[in-house]
Amino acid sequence: FEDKGSWSYIGTDCLDIPRDSPTMNFGWLDQGVVLHEFGHAIGLIHEHQNPLGGIRWNRQQVIRDLSGAPNFWDLDTIEHNMFETYDRDQINGTRLDAESVMLYAIPDSWTADDFHSVSNDALSATDKSFIGSEVNYPFPEDVEEVPEVPVTRVQHVEAEITVPGEQDLYTFVVDRAALYTVETGGATDVVLAVFGPDSKTRLVGENDDGGEGHNARFSGRLEPGRYYVQVRHFDRGGGVGAYSLRVLV
């Protein structure tokens, strides 16, 4: 494997790559680069290539610096990663976010207008709201009506993962703030994730083997609102089987 450095294919572009070939690589490892490359993996572009905000580059200085350590990029890579911008009809985005984890650290010597940014090692507020938006990452439109799970100590919802990769979705309503437990039962090794309140994308918590056997259990204080529970098999590629689900308070 000779393609060194830190990089990732963007979003569904990875589907065109052979299964025995890498779609992401870490030339060095820290929180910032992990968040940045996984941002690419879920479809985020470089913030400085955003057509909704422009940077006036000092091209020769950028080329000089990125040709050396730790990047060692050739001119084509620098052009592609730094100077090219996307067409407006290619993206759904925001104005330039100087705190985005998708923005490189840009010293003022790289720009002709004194714009600069520091190394962003955490998701910005805009990153979080954009990634968490149901507009940008919607659930499939053909999902059937979501089954509602009663909040009770005795009643279970019986279900089954019938095909590998299946993800089952449930909902329950919290009327008052309290400590709630969401757990599965049965012999099937499942993983659950809880989202809400009133959002299918805001993750509250997830669990694999926190319950009995290979069952999943999440416990936490929940505020009033509607919550969603996603259940899948631990083995995404081949796991099937029956399970039960209940919500306790």
- Each residue's pLDDT tens digit in the chain (249 positions)? 456 788 899 998 888 888 789 999 998 889 999 999 999 999 999 899 888 877 889 999 999 999 999 889 999 999 988 999 888 887 888 888 989 999 988 999 999 988 899 889 999 999 998 888 877 776 655 556 778 887 876 678 999 999 988 889 999 999 999 999 999 999 999 999 999 999 888 889 999 989 988 899 999 999 999 999 999 998 877 889 999 999 998
CA distance 199 to 129: 12
CA distance 98 to 120: 9
The total of other beta-carbon atoms located within 10 Å of residue 37's CB is: 18
The total of other beta-carbon atoms located within 10 Å of residue 154's CB is: 7
Q: Does domain 157-248 have CATH number 3.40.50.2000?
A: no
pLDDT at 134: 75
Helix (H) or strand (E) holding 126: helix 125-131
Do you find a cis peptide bond into 70, omega within 30 degrees of 0? yes
Say if strands 178-185 and 157-161 run parallel, antiparallel, or are unpaired: unpaired
The tokens for 63 are 């080329």
Phi and psi angles of residue 117, each rounded to the nearest 5 degrees, phi first: -145, 155
pLDDT at 104: 86
Q: Where are the domains of the chain?
A: 7-131, 157-248
CA distance 56 to 37: 25
Contact 216, 245 (CB under 8 A): no
Give the Å distances, CA to CA, from 65 to 4, 17, 72, 125. 18, 31, 9, 30
Provide the edge-to-edge strand list for the sheet that holds 203-207.
Answer: 167-174, 225-233, 190-195, 203-207
Say if strands 203-207 and 190-195 run parallel, antiparallel, or are unpaired: antiparallel
- Which one-letter DSSP state was computed for residue 159? E
